């Protein structure tokens, strides 16, 4: 069975991945996805920090809270931003100390709480969203036409559904 070697994330070929001919069907796409995601995420994170002083994790929390009308239950928020409850708790502690969010007890359940965006957090996420969307629009707009966007959305949905099985 023939094997194929790829250069993984720019590393030397000695660290490359050896795959069977069967794997070659998807390996190039996998490596392109990993490389592109890493480069694009680094660019997005750097832009958000430079322009607004926010990590993408903080922006994500603020954006979800703002889109939900300003308040979400902690478990719902943790699911939406793909953080563990303890990871979200630590992040919210730091965001609370920065005046971006506050925690409010759930009056119906003493064990539960809500994360609520503050006026400062709302103003910051509104400013940050404009620049963030401009960056996304420019990147996707330069690289993809409408059909490409539809294809990418469909393909990523299929991969996500496969992961969730």
% of the chain with per-residue pLDDT over 90: 68
Give the mean pLDDT of 141-145. 92
- Residue 113 sits in a domain of what CATH number? 1.10.10.10
Domain match, 128 and 94 both: no
Q: Specify if 45 maps to a domain.
A: yes
Residue 15: pLDDT band (50, 70, 90) is: very low
Q: Report the 10 Å Cβ neighbour count for 153.
A: 10
Domain match, 35 and 64 both = no
Question: What angle do helix axes 56-67 and 119-143 make, rounded to 10 degrees?
Answer: 110
116 and 129 assigned to the same domain: no
Q: Domains in the chain: how many in total?
A: 2
60 domain residue, yes or no: yes
Cα-only R_g, the chain: 20
Euclidean distance between CA atoms 137 and 143, whole angstroms:
10
Decide if 10 contacts 31 (C-beta within 8 A): no
**Digit-coded pLDDT (tens) for 90-128:** 999 999 999 999 999 989 998 889 999 999 999 999 999
pTM recorded for the entire structure:
0.80
Q: What is the pLDDT of residues 18-60, one digit of tens each?
A: 556 677 788 899 999 999 999 999 999 999 999 999 999 999 9
* 65 has pLDDT over 80: yes
The residue range of the domain holding 133 is 28-53+124-164
What is the overall mean pLDDT for the chain?
87
pLDDT of 5 above 50:
no
Residue 66 within any structural domain of the chain: yes
Binned at pLDDT 50, 70 and 90, residue 11 comes out as: very low
- Residues 117, 60 share a domain: yes
Do the domain assignments include residue 156?
A: yes
Cβ atoms within 10 Å of 61's Cβ, excluding its own? 28
Is residue 9 one of the residues assigned to a domain? no
Q: Where residue 3 falls among pLDDT bands split at 50, 70, 90?
A: very low
- The answer on pLDDT for 68 being more than 80 is yes
Banded pLDDT at 75 (limits 50, 70, 90): confident
């Amino acid at each position: 069975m023939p094997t194929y070697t790829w250069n993984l994330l720019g590393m030397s070929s000695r660290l490359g991945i050896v795959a069977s001919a069967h794997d070659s069907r998807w390996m190039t796409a996998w490596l392109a996805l990993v490389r592109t995601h890493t480069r694009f995420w680094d660019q997005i994170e750097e832009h958000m920090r430079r322009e607004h002083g926010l990590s993408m994790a903080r922006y994500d929390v603020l954006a979800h809270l703002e889109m939900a009308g300003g308040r979400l239950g902690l478990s719902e928020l943790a699911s939406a931003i793909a953080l563990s409850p303890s990871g979200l708790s630590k992040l919210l502690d730091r965001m609370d100390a920065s005046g971006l969010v506050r925690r409010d007890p759930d009056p119906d359940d003493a064990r539960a709480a809500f994360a609520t965006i503050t006026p400062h957090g709302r103003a910051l996420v509104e400013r940050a969203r404009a620049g963030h969307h401009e960056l996304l629009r420019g990147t996707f707009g330069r690289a993809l036409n409408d059909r490409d966007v539809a294809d990418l959305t469909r393909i990523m949905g299929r991969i996500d559904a496969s992961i969730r099985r």
